[in-house]
A and B are shown apart, each in its own frame.
Chain A
Amino acid sequence: MKNETPELFKKIFALSVIAVLIVGFFLAFTEMPKGWGVNVNGRVSRLYVLKNVRTATKSLDSGKFFAKGVKPLRTDVAYTPIEFKKTANLEDGAANVVTSIVVDYRGFDTLGEVTVLFLAVSGVMMLLFGKRKKERKKKTEPSLIMYVGTRIAFSVILLFGIYIFVHGHLTPGGGFPGGAVIASGILGLFLGRRGYSPNHMGLKAFESLSGIAFVIIGLIGFFSVHSFLANFLPTGIIGDLYSAGFIALIYIAVGMKVGSELAAVVDTMITDTEEEWS
């Protein structure tokens, strides 16, 4: 008891320090004077204006889009031409419009959500992980049916999760549900065989690498389109798998990150550890 409480307080303190650091990072990133960093409000409005209005005004030939004899009501407002099989911006390019908002205009918000999830997972792991493992005495060995069935079902569930986050820009879904589906498949594996434990370092490395990939994709946008998390890929034909720019890339990163994080949570919770309950 005497040794346990300071340990707990230390961990909580470390966790809060990390939280404060991350919040400070975000504030520093968003509240910096203009021209120095990423201005979130400026990014949204500027990107929107750049993409929509300027391209529209470039290709504005008055009378081109109207039948003969019909005059446009206002000549000072740009009318966007509609071209089929080509999409002008990311909002038109994604068949699932929600993802174009979540990843493009509110991409920074998505990064924050991923960070919040990371914080929660690291809190769980700090509190529970790292204790000495106990040799399990079998009370209930899972039956052969469970063993074989979960092995077969896991492959299907994994495939479905990957499908969800790869097709995030086409069908409902995206990184978060896909990752959760994958984690439930891994939970099935835990239930199916006793003593199953995934590679902890592998999970951590996977999770960190996909988190880094998210930021790197954002930075590529920062250096090529001069704003963080801006689309730098062609948007293609709406409805295609290879369309909607970088939404698919971001969602693949988010899905792998969420999947490995939630799998780590399940692993930490389910692995039997010897603990002193006060």
Chain B
Amino acid sequence: MIIYVATVVVIAIIISSLIAVFSKKLLSSIIAMGLVSLGVSGLFFFLQAPDVAITEAAIGAGLSTAIFVIALKRVKKGETKDEE
């Protein structure tokens, strides 16, 4: 049973990492990266490493996504100032 769930999760990870690489918008890349982290934390949970899963979910899917979004916001602000 769990192998099928894990297979679905792996396929989702592959698809979202492809989105993260090939997407034109940076914001969608960041969100796809957050999805990758979420899937990886699920995989860690399936592999009986709940410690690593919690860490990955808190840092990878939560904090680093937020920090990337903030950094993107700052960079965009700089770009618009440049154009002016």
Residues of B within 8 A of A173 (CB): 50-51, 54
Min CB distance B76 to A, Å, is 11
Q: Is there an interface contact between A184 and B81, defined as CB atoms closer than 8 Å? A: no
Residue A252 interfacial (CB < 8 Å): no
Q: Is there an interface contact between B71 and A269, defined as CB atoms closer than 8 Å? A: yes
Q: A164-B54, A184-B62 are in contact. Are A269 and B81 (CB under 8 A)?
A: no
Residues of A within 8 A of B62 (CB): 180, 184
Residue B70 interfacial (CB < 8 Å): yes
Q: Is there an interface contact between B55 and A176, defined as CB atoms closer than 8 Å? A: yes
Residue A9 interfacial (CB < 8 Å): no
Number of A-B contacts (CB under 8 A): 48
Q: In the complex, A265 Cα to B50 Cα: how many Å?
A: 26
Min CB distance B70 to A, Å, is 5
Query: Of residues 88 to 147 in A, which have CB atoms within 8 Å of B's CB atoms?
Result: 96, 98-99
Interface size (A, Cβ < 8 Å)? 21
Q: Is there an interface contact between B82 and A262, defined as CB atoms closer than 8 Å? A: no
Chain A: which residue is nearest B60 at the CB level? A180
Per-position contact with A for B9-50: 1 when CB-CB < 8 Å, else 0?
A: 000000000000000000000000000000000000000001
Interface of A is mostly: helix
Residue B67 interfacial (CB < 8 Å): yes
Which single member of A96, A187, A275, A277 contacts B63 (CB below 8 Å)? A187
Min CB distance B10 to A, Å, is 22
Which single member of A172, A180, A183, A187 contacts B51 (CB below 8 Å)? A172
Residues of A within 8 A of B50 (CB): 172-173
Q: Is there an interface contact between A177 and B82, defined as CB atoms closer than 8 Å? A: no
Residue A189 interfacial (CB < 8 Å): no
Residue A230 interfacial (CB < 8 Å): no
Residue A215 interfacial (CB < 8 Å): no
Q: Is there an interface contact between B67 and A184, defined as CB atoms closer than 8 Å? A: no
Residue A270 interfacial (CB < 8 Å): yes
Chain B: which residue is nearest A273 at the CB level? B74
Q: Is there an interface contact between B63 and A262, defined as CB atoms closer than 8 Å? A: yes
Residue B58 interfacial (CB < 8 Å): yes
Which single member of A172, A184, A187 contacts B54 (CB below 8 Å)? A172
Per-position contact with B for A241-278: 1 when CB-CB < 8 Å, else 0?
A: 00000000000000000000010011001100001010
Across chains A and B, which 8 residue pairs bring their CB atoms closest together, nearest first? A172-B50, A277-B78, A180-B58, A177-B54, A177-B55, A269-B70, A180-B59, A172-B51
Q: Can you spell out 25 A-B residue pairs with CB atoms less than 8 angstroms apart? A: A164-B54, A172-B53, A172-B54, A173-B50, A173-B51, A174-B51, A177-B58, A180-B58, A180-B62, A181-B58, A184-B58, A184-B62, A184-B63, A184-B66, A187-B63, A187-B66, A262-B63, A266-B66, A266-B67, A266-B70, A269-B70, A269-B71, A269-B74, A270-B70, A277-B78
Which residues from chain B sit less than 8 Å from chain A, CB to CB?
A: 50-51, 53-55, 58-59, 62-63, 66-67, 70-71, 74, 78-79, 81-82
